[in-house]
Each structure stands twice: as structure tokens, then as C-alpha cells.
Structure 1
Amino acid sequence: MPRVTPLASLVAALLLAAACAGPPASTPPGPAAAPSPAGSSAGDAMSGIDVVFLSTMIGHSERTLQIVRLAGSRLRDNSLRTLAAAIEATEADELAEMRGWLPTAGPGAGTAGHDHAGHGDDDALDRLRAATDADVDRVLREVLADHQRAAADLARAQVGVGRDERVRDLARRIERSRTAEVELLQGYAAQISSAPAGPRSS
């Protein structure tokens, strides 16, 4: 029987919450609503589903930064080092964006915490710490590919059920970027596994 991870349960909860909420209520005909004032935040139309997604992605991205920063100085492959630096920059920017949105979503949303244990990758940092210098590139590719694949799955679910369009747009960007990152990480692994072995010493 397949193991259900906490993140998979969260995706299922998002879908169930959307089904229970039903479609947005229709607005009776009338004058067009006034445009939102300049500087209005994503929280102006944010639903509970959007808050759950943002809270979860904040915790997930915080863990991503821990992973890449722990391994970054030890990486040997230049391409992998460049990718790790790009991931760190991208997710740091996204974190600032999400942290700016969440406090506007309603009472208590700004302080909503998230347990990193919910991502199902609690041993990722331990694996990286225990990896030898010769093995750290491989370990990072493995743990980061799993971690980013989970983020893409969560973002894909949010695109389908989210209510706030700015949060859904962020989810689309996350889904695309994490999927591309997983492909790159797996591509690096394939290149290494198919590389010809060096000459053996006699």
C-alpha cells in the first residue's frame, strides 16, 4: 500500500476544502466595483485555501534555503553550484513576497506557523551533513529533487483550487520553476551516470 506523506495529505486537504467551499458566489448585476487602491495586497481577496498555501510554501522555502546553504560551499560540480545559487536567490525573493502578503490575510494569518516536519524530508539536512565531500553533490541532487518536486505538486494543486489570483499566479511560477529544477537535477545525475569511467590504475 503506498505511503501517504504529510504533504500529499495537505494537497488532498486543499482540494477537499475547495470542493466544500463551492464556486464563488455570483455578484448581482450593478455598477462595476471601484478599482482597488494603489498598494492593495493579495490579502484583499485571500481565502483560507490561499492562506494555507502561503503558510506551507513559506515553511517549504525556508527548508530549501537551509538545504542549499548547507551544501553550497562543498559542491564540486560548477553547474550544480550555479543552480543551487539560483534556487537560493529565487526562493529568497519569493519568501519576501509571501511574508509580505500573509499578514494582510486576516486575524492570526500573519503569525501562522508551519512545521518543517510536514514536508516528509526531515532527514535531508542530516543526509547532507553526513555526506562525504566526494558524495555531497549526489546527495544534494537527490534530496533537492524530492523537495522541489513536492513544491511543484503543492503549487499545481493551488492553481486549481486557489481563490486569490495573485497567489495563483505565484503558484504557477513556483510549479514551472520547481519542475524545471527537478529536470535539471535529474539531468545532472544522468550525465554523471553515463560518463565514461576514467582509466584504471594498474
Structure 2
Amino acid sequence: MRRLLLVALLATAALLAGCAGTPERPATQVAVDDEVPAATSMNEADIRFLRVMAAHTEQSVEIARSVQDRIDDPEIKILVGAVKATEFDEHVMTRAWLQAVDSDPAATASPEDIGQAAIDGGLDRLRDTPDAAVDAVLCELLGTHHRTAAELARSHAEAGTSPEVLAYARRVEQSRAAGADILDRLSSGDA
């Protein structure tokens, strides 16, 4: 059963890695740089979503980095490595999109909008967790974080206008929901 889970984890890692990939550039796009195409036709909802996701992906990387050397379960290590790499790339992409349209590219969502207090509390709890319990606490914290991202992305579908941002939101919804499901199974021992 654990081999099936490992296959699922690797498939999720591949899906997550695809989240930040560079799509083909239609004629309507202007490149921000060599790696990140610009998003077109952004409205205020797209910009708000990108600000929230920029902060959210930064939090995910922080969660992953905070315990990367303390994770015991090899499947969790693989998933957390994929999360860290993918969400770092997504962070770069969202910041580039914001920089292209926003007069203040350093602006992010408010701490309340991104659940900063909950993340800070979760990180403190994770750092204080004995090594033997890190895997379970990490799965819980990252699973909750993933479900929040999936819900944010799902709600954006009704408000956004940029085809690129909407496509990104769909990828986030799918990958984070799948990642949260895997983290739940890993933490419950159903592997």
C-alpha cells in the first residue's frame, strides 16, 4: 500500500511541479522576463488573488523549510520537497505578474487575509514539536494550509478575468486539494 501512496505522491509532485510552468505564449502576452509570461487583462480581483497567493506560497515555503531536516517519513519528505520547489516557483510568478501591473509590487495581502496569525502559531507549534511527532503536526498544518489555498482559488473563479490567472487558480485548486488529501492519508497512517 505504501508503494501505491509513493506513486500517488510522485504523481502529485509532478502535478505540483506543473503548477508554475511557463505556458505557451499566445500573441496577446508580453513577456515579463525570459521565464515568466505576463498575465493579460487583470482586474482588481485578479490582483487581490495574486497578492494573497504570493503571501500564501511564501508561507508554504516557510513551513517546508522550518522542518525539512526533521521529517522522518520518506513520502512526506518527497511531498514537502515538491511543495517547497513548486510554491517557490509560484511565488516568483505571482510577484512578477504583480510587478507588471501594480504600482507597488511589494504590497501583499493583509495578515488577516492570509491567516498570518494561524500560520505563525502553527510554525511555533511545529518548531516546538518533538522530533517523533513532527510528521503528524506537519501533515496537519500543511494540509490545512493546502485546503485554504484550494478554497481561495475556487472562489477566485467567479471574480477573475485574466485567462492566465484563472488557469493558475484552477491548477492551485486541483493540486492543493490533492496534496491535502495525501497529507490526510499520511497523517492517519492509511498509507
> Where on the TM-score scale, by shorter chain, does this alignment land: which range?
0.7 to 0.9
Larger radius of gyration: 1
After the TM superposition, list the runs of 4 or more consecutive aligned residues in structure 1 that deviate by more than 6 angstroms: none
Question: How do residues 67-78 of structure 1 correspond to structure 2 at under 5 angstroms?
Answer: 67-78=63-74
Alignment CA distance shift 1:37-1:148 (3 Å): closer
Residue by residue over 1:110-142, the C-alpha shift from the partner in whole angstroms, topping out at 9 and shown as x without a partner, is: 131334453143311101111001111111011
Does structure 1 conserve the Cα–Cα contact (< 8 Å) formed by 2:50 and 2:98?
yes
Residue by residue over 1:65-87, the C-alpha shift from the partner in whole angstroms, topping out at 9 and shown as x without a partner, is: 00011111000001001100011
Does structure 2 conserve the Cα–Cα contact (< 8 Å) formed by 1:63 and 1:116?
no
Does structure 2 conserve the Cα–Cα contact (< 8 Å) formed by 1:60 and 1:116?
no
Aligned partner letter, 2:101: A
Match of 1:114 in 2: 109
Match of 2:55 in 1: 59
Match of 2:17 in 1: none
Match of 2:156 in 1: 158
Distance in 1 between the 2:73 and 2:29 partners?
Answer: 48
Q: Where does structure 1 lack aligned partners over 5 or more consecutive residues?
A: 1-34, 196-202
Q: Secondary structure at the match of 1:45?
A: coil
How far the C-alpha of 1:90 sits from its partner, in A, is 0.9
Match of 1:91 in 2: 87
> Does 2:41 align with 1:45?
yes
Paired residues in the alignment total 157
Q: Secondary structure at the match of 1:36?
A: coil
Percent pairwise identity: 35
Match of 2:11 in 1: none
Residue by residue over 1:114-173, the C-alpha shift from the partner in whole angstroms, topping out at 9 and shown as x without a partner, is: 344531433111011110011111110111111110000000011222111100000000
How far the C-alpha of 1:103 sits from its partner, in A, is 1.1
**Structure 1 length as normaliser, TM-score?**
0.72
Distance in 1 between the 2:92 and 2:164 partners?
Answer: 15
Does structure 1 conserve the Cα–Cα contact (< 8 Å) formed by 2:54 and 2:95?
yes
Q: Secondary structure at the match of 1:73?
A: coil
How far the C-alpha of 1:49 sits from its partner, in A, is 0.5
Residue by residue over 1:8-43, the C-alpha shift from the partner in whole angstroms, topping out at 9 and shown as x without a partner, is: xxxxxxxxxxxxxxxxxxxxxxxxxxx53653721x
Q: Secondary structure at the match of 1:135?
A: helix
Q: Where does structure 2 lack aligned partners over 5 or more consecutive residues?
A: 1-26, 32-36
Q: Secondary structure at the match of 2:120?
A: coil
How far the C-alpha of 1:47 sits from its partner, in A, is 0.6
Distance in 2 between the 1:68 and 1:111 partners?
Answer: 23
**Structure 2 length as normaliser, TM-score?**
0.76
Aligned partner letter, 2:83: I
Distance in 1 between the 2:30 and 2:54 partners?
Answer: 25
Match of 1:18 in 2: none
How far the C-alpha of 1:181 sits from its partner, in A, is 0.4
Match of 1:141 in 2: 139
How far the C-alpha of 1:187 sits from its partner, in A, is 0.7
